[in-house]
Structure 1
Amino acid sequence: MAQCGACPTSRRSSKRPAPLPPLHFTTAASCLRIPSHPPRPSATMSWFSRLYDYFLSLFWSSEMDITLLGLQNAGKTSLLRVLGGGEYTSDSIPTIGFSMKRVRKGRVTIKCWDLGGQPRFRSMWERYCKGVNAILFIVDSADPATLQIARMEFEALISKPSLEGIPVLVLGNKNDLPDAYDVDTVIDMMDLKSVDDREVSCYSISAKEHTNVDAVLTWLVSKTP
Protein backbone atom coordinates (compact mmCIF):
# COMPACT_ATOMS: atom_id res chain seq x y z
CA MET A 1 0.00 0.00 0.00
CA ALA A 2 1.41 3.35 -1.01
CA GLN A 3 1.96 5.79 1.82
CA CYS A 4 2.18 9.56 1.87
CA GLY A 5 5.77 10.77 2.03
CA ALA A 6 4.99 12.74 5.20
CA CYS A 7 3.26 9.82 6.92
CA PRO A 8 5.07 7.99 9.72
CA THR A 9 6.36 4.48 9.10
CA SER A 10 7.60 2.00 11.66
CA ARG A 11 11.33 1.47 11.88
CA ARG A 12 12.96 -1.69 13.08
CA SER A 13 16.05 -1.80 15.25
CA SER A 14 18.81 -4.38 14.72
CA LYS A 15 18.17 -5.79 18.17
CA ARG A 16 14.85 -6.25 19.84
CA PRO A 17 14.03 -6.42 23.54
CA ALA A 18 12.19 -9.47 24.84
CA PRO A 19 8.45 -9.28 24.00
CA LEU A 20 6.16 -8.04 26.75
CA PRO A 21 3.09 -10.03 27.80
CA PRO A 22 -0.20 -8.50 26.63
CA LEU A 23 -1.78 -6.19 29.18
CA HIS A 24 -5.09 -5.56 27.36
CA PHE A 25 -6.54 -3.03 29.84
CA THR A 26 -4.66 -1.23 32.58
CA THR A 27 -5.42 1.73 34.79
CA ALA A 28 -2.75 1.33 37.46
CA ALA A 29 -0.78 4.42 36.58
CA SER A 30 -3.91 6.51 36.69
CA CYS A 31 -4.04 5.99 40.44
CA LEU A 32 -0.65 7.57 40.93
CA ARG A 33 -0.32 11.17 41.95
CA ILE A 34 3.16 12.32 41.07
CA PRO A 35 4.09 15.50 42.97
CA SER A 36 3.19 18.60 41.04
CA HIS A 37 6.72 19.96 41.26
CA PRO A 38 9.17 17.06 41.66
CA PRO A 39 12.71 18.00 42.66
CA ARG A 40 14.91 18.88 39.73
CA PRO A 41 18.10 16.85 39.27
CA SER A 42 21.36 18.64 39.82
CA ALA A 43 23.40 19.81 36.84
CA THR A 44 25.99 17.12 37.53
CA MET A 45 23.40 14.34 37.61
CA SER A 46 21.78 15.64 34.43
CA TRP A 47 25.15 15.64 32.68
CA PHE A 48 25.88 12.05 33.73
CA SER A 49 22.39 11.01 32.66
CA ARG A 50 22.87 12.48 29.19
CA LEU A 51 26.30 10.89 28.92
CA TYR A 52 24.88 7.51 29.94
CA ASP A 53 22.08 7.77 27.38
CA TYR A 54 24.59 8.69 24.69
CA PHE A 55 26.86 5.69 25.29
CA LEU A 56 23.83 3.41 25.56
CA SER A 57 22.55 4.63 22.22
CA LEU A 58 25.86 3.69 20.57
CA PHE A 59 25.28 0.02 21.28
CA TRP A 60 21.52 -0.37 21.52
CA SER A 61 19.00 2.11 20.23
CA SER A 62 15.68 2.00 18.45
CA GLU A 63 13.05 4.32 17.07
CA MET A 64 9.28 4.18 17.18
CA ASP A 65 6.41 6.18 15.71
CA ILE A 66 3.33 7.35 17.61
CA THR A 67 0.44 9.69 16.90
CA LEU A 68 -1.17 12.17 19.28
CA LEU A 69 -4.86 12.60 18.57
CA GLY A 70 -7.79 14.32 20.21
CA LEU A 71 -10.16 17.22 19.81
CA GLN A 72 -8.87 20.77 19.69
CA ASN A 73 -7.89 22.24 23.07
CA ALA A 74 -7.45 18.82 24.69
CA GLY A 75 -3.81 19.68 25.39
CA LYS A 76 -1.96 17.57 22.81
CA THR A 77 0.70 20.13 21.89
CA SER A 78 1.29 21.10 25.52
CA LEU A 79 1.68 17.44 26.45
CA LEU A 80 4.14 16.86 23.63
CA ARG A 81 6.25 19.78 24.83
CA VAL A 82 6.30 18.36 28.36
CA LEU A 83 7.10 14.83 27.12
CA GLY A 84 10.12 16.31 25.35
CA GLY A 85 11.40 17.86 28.58
CA GLY A 86 10.08 21.37 28.00
CA GLU A 87 8.03 23.55 30.27
CA TYR A 88 4.27 23.84 30.14
CA THR A 89 2.89 27.06 28.66
CA SER A 90 -0.74 28.13 28.62
CA ASP A 91 -0.43 30.00 25.31
CA SER A 92 0.27 27.07 22.99
CA ILE A 93 -0.74 27.66 19.39
CA PRO A 94 -3.22 25.03 18.13
CA THR A 95 -1.72 22.58 15.65
CA ILE A 96 -2.71 23.35 12.07
CA GLY A 97 -2.55 20.14 10.09
CA PHE A 98 0.27 18.24 11.76
CA SER A 99 3.68 18.65 13.33
CA MET A 100 6.40 16.19 14.28
CA LYS A 101 8.76 16.15 17.24
CA ARG A 102 11.31 13.57 18.38
CA VAL A 103 11.38 12.67 22.06
CA ARG A 104 14.27 10.75 23.59
CA LYS A 105 13.72 8.29 26.43
CA GLY A 106 16.82 6.27 27.30
CA ARG A 107 17.77 4.21 24.27
CA VAL A 108 14.48 4.91 22.46
CA THR A 109 13.75 7.78 20.09
CA ILE A 110 10.01 8.40 19.86
CA LYS A 111 8.85 10.15 16.69
CA CYS A 112 5.65 11.92 17.73
CA TRP A 113 3.12 13.07 15.15
CA ASP A 114 0.86 15.75 16.63
CA LEU A 115 -2.29 15.98 14.49
CA GLY A 116 -4.75 18.84 14.46
CA GLY A 117 -8.01 18.20 16.30
CA GLN A 118 -10.27 20.59 14.42
CA PRO A 119 -13.08 18.90 12.43
CA ARG A 120 -11.45 19.61 9.07
CA PHE A 121 -8.30 17.69 10.06
CA ARG A 122 -9.88 14.57 11.57
CA SER A 123 -10.27 12.88 8.21
CA MET A 124 -6.50 12.54 7.96
CA TRP A 125 -6.06 10.83 11.34
CA GLU A 126 -6.29 7.34 9.86
CA ARG A 127 -3.62 8.04 7.25
CA TYR A 128 -1.08 9.15 9.87
CA CYS A 129 -1.91 6.26 12.21
CA LYS A 130 -1.13 3.55 9.67
CA GLY A 131 2.01 1.67 10.67
CA VAL A 132 2.59 3.46 13.98
CA ASN A 133 3.58 1.59 17.13
CA ALA A 134 1.00 3.26 19.38
CA ILE A 135 -1.75 5.86 19.43
CA LEU A 136 -2.19 8.46 22.18
CA PHE A 137 -5.75 9.78 22.33
CA ILE A 138 -6.02 12.82 24.59
CA VAL A 139 -9.30 14.07 26.04
CA ASP A 140 -10.12 17.05 28.22
CA SER A 141 -11.34 15.37 31.41
CA ALA A 142 -12.65 18.71 32.73
CA ASP A 143 -14.95 19.39 29.77
CA PRO A 144 -17.89 16.95 29.70
CA ALA A 145 -19.35 18.62 26.62
CA THR A 146 -16.47 17.41 24.46
CA LEU A 147 -16.18 13.89 25.86
CA GLN A 148 -19.17 12.59 23.90
CA ILE A 149 -17.74 13.98 20.67
CA ALA A 150 -14.33 12.54 21.57
CA ARG A 151 -15.91 9.15 22.13
CA MET A 152 -17.55 9.15 18.69
CA GLU A 153 -14.30 10.19 16.99
CA PHE A 154 -12.37 7.57 18.96
CA GLU A 155 -14.79 4.78 18.05
CA ALA A 156 -14.76 5.78 14.39
CA LEU A 157 -10.96 5.74 14.38
CA ILE A 158 -10.36 2.35 15.97
CA SER A 159 -13.02 0.76 13.73
CA LYS A 160 -10.75 1.30 10.71
CA PRO A 161 -9.42 -2.09 9.47
CA SER A 162 -6.05 -0.52 8.63
CA LEU A 163 -5.49 0.33 12.33
CA GLU A 164 -6.46 -3.05 13.75
CA GLY A 165 -4.40 -4.16 16.75
CA ILE A 166 -2.47 -0.90 17.29
CA PRO A 167 -2.19 -0.26 21.08
CA VAL A 168 -4.01 2.82 22.35
CA LEU A 169 -3.39 4.94 25.42
CA VAL A 170 -6.27 7.25 26.30
CA LEU A 171 -5.19 10.19 28.46
CA GLY A 172 -7.65 12.16 30.56
CA ASN A 173 -5.76 15.45 30.62
CA LYS A 174 -6.23 18.45 32.96
CA ASN A 175 -6.81 16.46 36.16
CA ASP A 176 -5.38 19.47 38.02
CA LEU A 177 -8.73 21.22 37.57
CA PRO A 178 -11.22 20.75 40.43
CA ASP A 179 -14.10 19.63 38.20
CA ALA A 180 -12.09 17.10 36.19
CA TYR A 181 -13.47 13.58 35.91
CA ASP A 182 -11.46 10.79 37.53
CA VAL A 183 -10.04 7.98 35.44
CA ASP A 184 -12.91 5.55 36.06
CA THR A 185 -15.42 8.09 34.78
CA VAL A 186 -13.30 8.76 31.69
CA ILE A 187 -13.17 5.01 31.04
CA ASP A 188 -16.95 4.77 31.28
CA MET A 189 -17.67 7.87 29.19
CA MET A 190 -15.26 6.72 26.47
CA ASP A 191 -16.69 3.17 26.68
CA LEU A 192 -13.16 1.75 26.73
CA LYS A 193 -14.14 -1.56 28.31
CA SER A 194 -15.96 -2.50 25.13
CA VAL A 195 -12.72 -2.42 23.10
CA ASP A 196 -11.50 -6.00 22.83
CA ASP A 197 -9.38 -6.09 19.66
CA ARG A 198 -6.28 -4.38 21.04
CA GLU A 199 -4.54 -3.24 24.20
CA VAL A 200 -6.20 -0.17 25.65
CA SER A 201 -4.92 1.74 28.67
CA CYS A 202 -6.24 4.88 30.30
CA TYR A 203 -4.26 7.25 32.52
CA SER A 204 -5.33 10.41 34.30
CA ILE A 205 -2.71 13.10 33.69
CA SER A 206 -1.96 16.79 33.89
CA ALA A 207 0.43 18.23 31.33
CA LYS A 208 0.44 21.46 33.34
CA GLU A 209 1.50 19.80 36.61
CA HIS A 210 3.50 16.99 34.92
CA THR A 211 1.29 14.44 36.68
CA ASN A 212 1.88 10.89 35.33
CA VAL A 213 4.00 12.16 32.43
CA ASP A 214 6.74 9.65 33.31
CA ALA A 215 4.12 6.88 33.32
CA VAL A 216 3.12 7.87 29.78
CA LEU A 217 6.74 7.69 28.59
CA THR A 218 7.21 4.31 30.26
CA TRP A 219 4.09 2.98 28.53
CA LEU A 220 5.32 4.25 25.17
CA VAL A 221 8.78 2.73 25.53
CA SER A 222 7.18 -0.63 26.33
CA LYS A 223 5.72 -0.58 22.79
CA THR A 224 9.12 -0.31 21.14
CA PRO A 225 9.39 -2.81 18.24
Structure 2
Amino acid sequence: MLGFVFLGCGEMELSLIGLLNAGKNSLTGGYSEDMIPTVNPGFAVCGRGIAVKFLLSYVVDAADHDNLSISKGELHDLLSKPALSGIPLLVLGNKIDKAGALSKQALTDQMDLKSIIDREVCCFMISCKNSTNIDSVIDWLVKHSKSKS
Protein backbone atom coordinates (compact mmCIF):
# COMPACT_ATOMS: atom_id res chain seq x y z
CA MET A 1 0.00 0.00 0.00
CA LEU A 2 1.29 3.44 -0.94
CA GLY A 3 1.61 6.28 1.51
CA PHE A 4 1.14 9.75 0.09
CA VAL A 5 1.93 13.21 1.40
CA PHE A 6 0.99 16.26 -0.66
CA LEU A 7 2.93 19.32 0.38
CA GLY A 8 2.06 22.80 -0.78
CA CYS A 9 4.44 25.53 0.37
CA GLY A 10 3.26 28.47 -1.66
CA GLU A 11 6.03 28.30 -4.25
CA MET A 12 6.51 24.53 -4.20
CA GLU A 13 4.20 21.57 -4.52
CA LEU A 14 5.78 18.23 -3.73
CA SER A 15 4.22 14.80 -3.58
CA LEU A 16 6.15 12.43 -1.34
CA ILE A 17 5.12 8.88 -2.19
CA GLY A 18 6.31 5.40 -1.25
CA LEU A 19 5.29 2.12 0.30
CA LEU A 20 4.40 2.15 3.98
CA ASN A 21 7.52 2.09 6.15
CA ALA A 22 9.77 3.37 3.33
CA GLY A 23 10.84 6.38 5.41
CA LYS A 24 8.60 9.25 4.29
CA ASN A 25 8.04 10.41 7.89
CA SER A 26 11.72 10.25 8.70
CA LEU A 27 12.44 12.40 5.68
CA THR A 28 9.79 15.02 6.43
CA GLY A 29 9.92 15.15 10.20
CA GLY A 30 13.34 13.86 11.20
CA TYR A 31 14.37 10.37 12.24
CA SER A 32 13.49 8.95 15.66
CA GLU A 33 14.04 5.43 17.02
CA ASP A 34 10.48 5.54 18.45
CA MET A 35 8.88 6.49 15.15
CA ILE A 36 5.79 4.64 14.02
CA PRO A 37 4.40 4.96 10.47
CA THR A 38 1.98 7.87 10.06
CA VAL A 39 1.22 10.57 7.51
CA ASN A 40 3.33 13.66 8.10
CA PRO A 41 1.93 17.03 6.97
CA GLY A 42 5.09 18.90 6.01
CA PHE A 43 8.46 18.98 4.28
CA ALA A 44 11.04 21.47 5.52
CA VAL A 45 12.10 22.97 2.20
CA CYS A 46 9.73 25.96 2.16
CA GLY A 47 11.16 29.42 2.18
CA ARG A 48 14.41 28.73 0.31
CA GLY A 49 13.34 30.57 -2.85
CA ILE A 50 12.00 27.42 -4.48
CA ALA A 51 9.71 27.71 -7.50
CA VAL A 52 8.92 24.16 -8.60
CA LYS A 53 5.49 23.84 -10.11
CA PHE A 54 5.11 20.15 -9.24
CA LEU A 55 7.48 17.31 -8.42
CA LEU A 56 7.01 13.65 -7.59
CA SER A 57 9.30 12.27 -4.93
CA TYR A 58 9.20 8.50 -4.48
CA VAL A 59 10.79 6.98 -1.36
CA VAL A 60 12.03 3.38 -1.50
CA ASP A 61 13.32 1.30 1.42
CA ALA A 62 16.61 0.23 -0.16
CA ALA A 63 17.06 -2.50 2.46
CA ASP A 64 13.61 -4.11 2.01
CA HIS A 65 14.34 -6.62 -0.75
CA ASP A 66 11.00 -8.38 -0.25
CA ASN A 67 8.99 -5.32 -1.29
CA LEU A 68 11.14 -3.93 -4.11
CA SER A 69 9.08 -5.51 -6.87
CA ILE A 70 5.88 -4.16 -5.28
CA SER A 71 7.44 -0.71 -4.99
CA LYS A 72 8.58 -0.86 -8.62
CA GLY A 73 5.09 -1.83 -9.75
CA GLU A 74 3.46 0.96 -7.75
CA LEU A 75 5.90 3.54 -9.11
CA HIS A 76 5.46 2.53 -12.75
CA ASP A 77 1.67 2.34 -12.32
CA LEU A 78 1.69 5.84 -10.85
CA LEU A 79 3.82 7.17 -13.70
CA SER A 80 1.41 5.74 -16.27
CA LYS A 81 -1.31 8.17 -15.14
CA PRO A 82 -1.87 10.77 -17.89
CA ALA A 83 -2.29 13.57 -15.33
CA LEU A 84 1.31 13.01 -14.17
CA SER A 85 2.85 12.93 -17.64
CA GLY A 86 6.19 14.72 -17.86
CA ILE A 87 6.36 15.66 -14.16
CA PRO A 88 9.93 15.29 -12.85
CA LEU A 89 10.62 12.30 -10.59
CA LEU A 90 12.99 12.21 -7.66
CA VAL A 91 13.63 8.68 -6.33
CA LEU A 92 15.06 8.43 -2.83
CA GLY A 93 16.60 5.10 -1.83
CA ASN A 94 16.28 5.34 1.96
CA LYS A 95 17.79 3.29 4.80
CA ILE A 96 21.24 2.90 3.27
CA ASP A 97 22.53 2.67 6.83
CA LYS A 98 21.03 -0.83 7.10
CA ALA A 99 22.94 -4.01 6.27
CA GLY A 100 22.12 -5.31 2.81
CA ALA A 101 20.86 -1.98 1.47
CA LEU A 102 21.11 -1.71 -2.30
CA SER A 103 23.64 0.47 -4.07
CA LYS A 104 22.40 3.27 -6.32
CA GLN A 105 23.07 1.16 -9.42
CA ALA A 106 21.25 -1.86 -7.96
CA LEU A 107 18.24 0.27 -6.97
CA THR A 108 18.19 1.88 -10.43
CA ASP A 109 18.16 -1.59 -11.98
CA GLN A 110 15.61 -3.10 -9.55
CA MET A 111 13.22 -0.16 -9.99
CA ASP A 112 13.82 -0.10 -13.77
CA LEU A 113 14.44 3.65 -13.66
CA LYS A 114 16.27 3.71 -17.00
CA SER A 115 13.05 2.72 -18.76
CA ILE A 116 11.45 6.02 -17.65
CA ILE A 117 12.13 8.28 -20.60
CA ASP A 118 9.15 10.67 -20.63
CA ARG A 119 10.40 12.84 -17.76
CA GLU A 120 13.47 13.90 -15.83
CA VAL A 121 14.50 11.25 -13.28
CA CYS A 122 17.00 11.70 -10.47
CA CYS A 123 17.97 9.17 -7.79
CA PHE A 124 19.70 9.74 -4.46
CA MET A 125 20.65 7.15 -1.88
CA ILE A 126 19.88 8.50 1.60
CA SER A 127 19.67 7.64 5.26
CA CYS A 128 17.15 9.68 7.21
CA LYS A 129 18.50 8.07 10.39
CA ASN A 130 22.02 9.38 9.79
CA SER A 131 21.01 12.40 7.65
CA THR A 132 23.15 11.00 4.82
CA ASN A 133 22.70 12.93 1.56
CA ILE A 134 19.67 14.90 2.82
CA ASP A 135 21.49 18.18 2.10
CA SER A 136 22.24 16.93 -1.41
CA VAL A 137 18.54 16.22 -1.97
CA ILE A 138 17.58 19.71 -0.79
CA ASP A 139 20.32 21.25 -2.93
CA TRP A 140 19.03 19.30 -5.95
CA LEU A 141 15.49 20.55 -5.28
CA VAL A 142 16.71 24.13 -5.07
CA LYS A 143 18.86 23.86 -8.23
CA HIS A 144 16.10 22.03 -10.08
CA SER A 145 13.54 24.67 -9.17
CA LYS A 146 15.82 27.51 -10.27
CA SER A 147 16.44 25.84 -13.63
CA LYS A 148 12.68 25.66 -14.20
CA SER A 149 12.02 29.31 -13.39
- Could you say whether these structures have the same fold, taking a TM-score greater than 0.5 normalized by the shorter chain as the test? yes
Larger Rg: 1
- Work out whether 1:79 is the aligned partner of 2:24: no
Whether contact under 8 Å (1:65, 1:133) holds in the other structure is yes
| CA gap 1:162/1:105 in 2 versus in 1, 3 angstroms | closer
- Structure with more relative contact order (C-alpha pairs < 8 Å, separation 6 or more): 1
TM-score (norm 2): 0.84
Corresponding residue number in structure 1 for 2:32: 89
Q: Aligned residues, how many? A: 141
Whether contact under 8 Å (1:66, 1:136) holds in the other structure is yes
| CA gap 1:8/1:107 in 2 versus in 1, 3 angstroms | closer
Corresponding residue number in structure 1 for 2:41: 100
1:101 partner amino acid: G
- Work out whether 1:195 is the aligned partner of 2:116: yes
Structure 1 CA distance for aligned equivalents of residues 48 and 9 of structure 2: 16
Q: Name structure 1 gaps, 5 residues minimum.
A: 1-6, 12-62, 83-87, 111-130
- SS of aligned partner of 1:185: helix
1:65 partner amino acid: E
Q: CA RMSD in A?
A: 2.3
Question: Where does structure 1 differ by over 4 angstroms across 4 or more consecutive aligned residues?
Answer: 7-11
Structure 2 CA distance for aligned equivalents of residues 91 and 75 of structure 1: 13
Corresponding residue number in structure 1 for 2:3: none
1:80 partner amino acid: T
Report 1:1-225 matches (<5 A): 63-82=11-30, 88-95=31-38, 98-104=39-45, 107-108=48-49, 133-224=54-145, 225=149
TM-score (norm 1): 0.57
Q: Name structure 2 gaps, 5 residues minimum.
A: 1-5
CA deviations on 1:1-36 (whole Å, 9 max, x unpaired) are xxxxxx76695xxxxxxxxxxxxxxxxxxxxxxxxx
| CA gap 1:139/1:104 in 2 versus in 1, 3 angstroms | closer
Structure 2 CA distance for aligned equivalents of residues 143 and 109 of structure 1: 32
Give how far 1:109 is off.
6.0
Structure 1 CA distance for aligned equivalents of residues 105 and 116 of structure 2: 15
Whether contact under 8 Å (2:69, 2:111) holds in the other structure is yes
1:89 partner amino acid: S
Structure 2 CA distance for aligned equivalents of residues 109 and 77 of structure 1: 21
